[in-house]
Amino acid sequence: MLIEQRDSLRGEINIPGDKSISHRAILFGSLAKGTTEIEGLMMGEDCLSTIDCFRKMHVSIEILPNKVKIHGNGLYGLKPPSAPLNAGRSGTALRLLLGVLSGQPFSSVLTRNEAVLRKPVGKVVAPLRQMGANITGRENGNICPLSIQPAKLTGKTHHVSILDTYIKSPLLIAGLYADGETTVIEEVKSRDHSELMLNYFGADIKVNGLEVTSRRVENLYAQHIQVPGDISIAAYFITAGLIVPNSDIVIKNVGINPTRAGILDVYKSMGAKIEILNERVVSNEKVADIRVVSSPLNGTTIERSMIPRLIDEIPIITVAASVAKGTTTITGLKGFKTKESGKLSRMIAELSKLGATLHETEDGVIIEGKEHLKGTVVEGHNDAAIAMSLCVAGLVAENETNIRKTQVLDIAYPDFITVLNKL
């Protein structure tokens, strides 16, 4: 993929629907009584895996040109699948499905694609077992495939660390089927799409600061869902608009849920000109149009308490920091997937090839901003976040930037370059 330096970006764009919200819309629509219509659904491989799993449990799901219709049978209306349920590559689908299947009166087998089969899932399985879930699998239920047998669930109180916030939603979902109250107490506030959408569908979810409590309900009820644009995808265009000179772009219909929109706070602390326009609430989620005007950015400090609100955006933030004035320090990444998986190290290595100055630390990264990057050959590592971040860096690098190993974009966001070229 060849990226040329640009002297401006201008125009209005739309971006794909939020993947986290899309998964939940499929799942809660399938558990609700009546027909749920979803517009703006992210129709990528991961969400199609979620659809496939619920079809195997005899939920009728129609994929139409501009919307998806789910004819739900109600909270207790799923039927035993005749084959194993495959969550594909999606960790989100796997975790949410575990919450659902733990409370069903039938047996099921849940697995995932061969490429991710050995990824551990024990941190989700263990607290569900504490509630009474009967889940078995390889390495004591830590590795798929998992067998889930019928069991009586009882609500428990779970304390969740900053590193394990992803277990909150499965527990709240299992709480719909459990006797008593299921309470999750978080170390910091994490993304709350499940709480918002469950209540939109008629659940009884109570939020009190860092405590979230789920209770058994008789049913969920079908709704109309408009999925907002994914702020994690908007982040690439926001960053491009800030660092490419003479730019003025508007990204339409973006989800700005405060538990996800940490990148906006970071960029504003760096001096970014970002306007939130037409702010509204759609399907219980905050949505707005985001206007971005090119801005001289200054270095900033990002601490551990902020990380859950912007963990997916760390790679693109390193790009912005690389061309900002002064030093940006990101701390508290130790234990988070972005650092432990090596994604941060790979991002640092590739930006360094473009002339950026970054130093990985034990728990984060220090970035010394500089005025110019220089185009060269870099590797996208077949990682969508790295590939798109390097594309944005290439827009401000002198001459051309050749990014290799970007095939993953054909799955993750095939229209990325097309949308970028519209600006």
Binding site for 3-phosphoshikimate: which residues? 19-20, 24, 165, 312, 339
Choose the CATH number for 2-16+228-422 among 3.40.50.620, 3.40.50.2300, 3.40.920.10, 3.65.10.10.
3.65.10.10
- Picking from 359, 334, 337, the residue whose alpha carbon sits closest to that of residue 348 is 359
pLDDT at 411: 84
> Which of these is catalytic: 192, 230, 289, 312?
312
Contact (Cβ atoms closer than 8 angstroms) between residue 300 and residue 364: no
Low-confidence ranges of the chain (pLDDT < 50): none
pLDDT at 59: 98
Q: Which helix (H) or strand (E) segment is 183 a member of?
A: strand 181-186
HSE toward the beta carbon, residue 71, CA cutoff 13 A: 7
- Picking from 330, 412, 31, 18, the residue whose alpha carbon sits closest to that of residue 191 is 18
Q: pLDDT above 70 covers what percent of the chain? A: 100
Q: Judge whether 410 counts as a catalytic residue.
A: no
* Topology at the third CATH level for domain 20-226: UDP-n-acetylglucosamine1-carboxyvinyl-transferase; Chain (3.65.10)
- Structure-derived torsion over alpha carbons of residues 6, 10, 12, 15, reported in degrees to the nearest 10: 20
Mark 48-57 as b/e (b = at least 16 C-beta within 10 Å): bbbbebbebb
Region(s) of the chain under CATH 3.65.10.10: 2-16+228-422, 20-226
CA distances from 180 to 200, 214, 217 (A): 21, 9, 11
* Long-range contacts (CB closer than 8 Å, 24 or more residues apart) made by 215-218: 215/155, 215/175, 215/176, 215/180, 215/181, 215/182, 216/175, 216/176, 216/177, 216/178, 216/179, 217/75, 217/176, 218/75
Contact (Cβ atoms closer than 8 angstroms) between residue 400 and residue 375: yes
- Picking from 377, 379, 388, the residue whose alpha carbon sits closest to that of residue 412 is 388
Contact (Cβ atoms closer than 8 angstroms) between residue 239 and residue 321: no
Task: Kindly give, in sequence order, each residue whose CB lies less than 8 Å from that of residue 78, ignoring residues fewer than 6 positions away.
Answer: 30, 31, 54, 57, 58, 59, 100, 104, 106
Amino acid identity of residue 178, one-letter, is: A
Binding site: which residues? 19-20, 24, 91, 165, 312, 339
- Picking from 315, 313, 312, 318, the residue whose alpha carbon sits closest to that of residue 300 is 318
pLDDT at 161: 94
pLDDT at 177: 97
| pTM of the entire predicted model | 0.95
CA angle at 230 for the pair 7 and 42, rounded to the nearest 5°: 120
Backbone angles phi, psi at 201, to 5 degrees: -90, 0
pLDDT at 374: 97
Strands 181-186 and 157-160 turn out to be: parallel
Binding site for phosphoenolpyruvate: which residues? 19, 91
